[in-house]
A and B are shown apart, each in its own frame.
Chain A
Amino acid sequence: QITLKESGPTLVKPTQTLTLTCTFSGFSGSTSGVGVGWVRQPPGKALEGLALFYRDDDKRFRPSLRSRLTITRDTSRNQVVLTMTNMDPVDTATYYCVHAPIFYEYVRGRPIPLPNVFDVWGQGTMVTVSS
């Protein structure tokens, strides 16, 4: 059974950097083609994909936030860490860790992982940005 659990601060000040950790179990983060990432949801609003980690040389990001986001994986601890710089009150949201199962598309004969579904979600962690 795959489980994901988010941890991190509940309150950050504007301009600070947010660091969130997703600790997962039930699968190996080093399995080729498996993705672990982050989706957020501002209060009363829609879901927004933020970042997805496949391997060190294959990370996907929301284009509009690309410059503020970093995603890393610690395979030994079964963790994926998201950092977001220069936090603003509009970044107030529930942040979810998500699992993308193995799925590939073939581009010029090469298998490329593709996030066709987020099949398991963490419970979410609420982050408020306020001074």
Chain B
Amino acid sequence: QSVLTQPASVSGSPGQSITISCTGSNRDVGTYDYVSWYQQHPGKAPKVLIYDVNKRPSGISTRVSGSKSGNTASLTISGLQAEDEADYFCCAYAGAFVIFGGGTKLTVL
């Protein structure tokens, strides 16, 4: 079962925007519009930010958005804030079950 490919790290200054990519295949991201994104602070459980490619759960900031093109999904965080510094994981439905990305560490400079 393949892992979705994410950049190991991204960084940005407060107020800037960053985008994290998540590349899969035509067996997962490319076929199903069921991509979710999770934020994880050190020592904490993951928290969902985006589901179904671009839907935000109640309480999630409008600074967070998701999109998809072909086999690649993306998470964009605008107006970076210090508290956005965390690890981010994508997850995709791959027929019956799910696969996760390798994770991306976001550093706010």
Would you give the 0/1 interface string for B19-48, flagging 1 where the beta carbon is closer than 8 Å to chain A? 000000000000000101010000001111
A-B contact count (CB 8 A): 61
The smallest beta-carbon distance between A45 and chain B, in angstroms, is 8
Are B97 and A119 in touch, CB under 8 angstroms?
A: no
CB nearest to B46 among chain A residues: A121
* Residues 109-124 of A contacting B (Cβ, < 8 Å): 114-119, 121-124
- Are B97 and A47 within 8 A (Cβ)? no
Q: Does A22 contact B (CB under 8 A)?
A: no
Determine the interface band of chain B, counting residues with CB < 8 A from chain A: 20 to 34
Out of A46, A63, A117, A122, name the residue touching B100 (CB < 8 Å). A46
Residues A46 and B103 in contact, CB atoms below 8 Å apart:
yes
Q: Quick one: which of A20-67 are within 8 Å of B by CB?
A: 39, 45-49, 52, 60-64
A47-B89, A118-B36 as given contacts; A96 in contact with B46, CB under 8 Å = yes
Contact A115–B89 (Cβ < 8 Å): no
Instruction: Please state if A116 and B45 are interface contacts (CB–CB under 8 Å).
Output: no
Question: Which residues from chain A contact B96 at a C-beta distance below 8 Å?
Answer: 60
Whether B3 contacts A116 by the Cβ 8 Å rule is: no
Known A47-B91, A62-B97; contact A118-B1, beta-carbon cutoff 8 A: no
Partner of B48, one of A47, A63, A117: A117
CB proximity of B28 to chain A, nearest CB, Å: 12
The chain B residue with its CB closest to the CB of A65 is B1
List 6 A-B pairs, minimum CB-CB distance, nearest first.
A117-B51, A121-B45, A116-B34, A47-B100, A60-B97, A117-B36
Binding site for A on B (CB under 8 A): 1, 3, 34, 36, 38, 45-48, 51-52, 57, 89, 91, 93, 96-103
12 residue pairs of the A-B complex, CB under 8 angstroms, read A39-B100, A45-B103, A46-B101, A46-B102, A49-B98, A61-B97, A114-B34, A117-B34, A117-B51, A118-B38, A118-B46, A121-B47
If A47-B103, A116-B36 are given as contacts, then 13 extra A-B residue pairs at C-beta distance below 8 Å, sorted by A number, are A45-B103, A46-B89, A46-B100, A46-B103, A47-B89, A49-B97, A49-B98, A49-B99, A62-B97, A64-B1, A116-B51, A119-B48, A122-B45
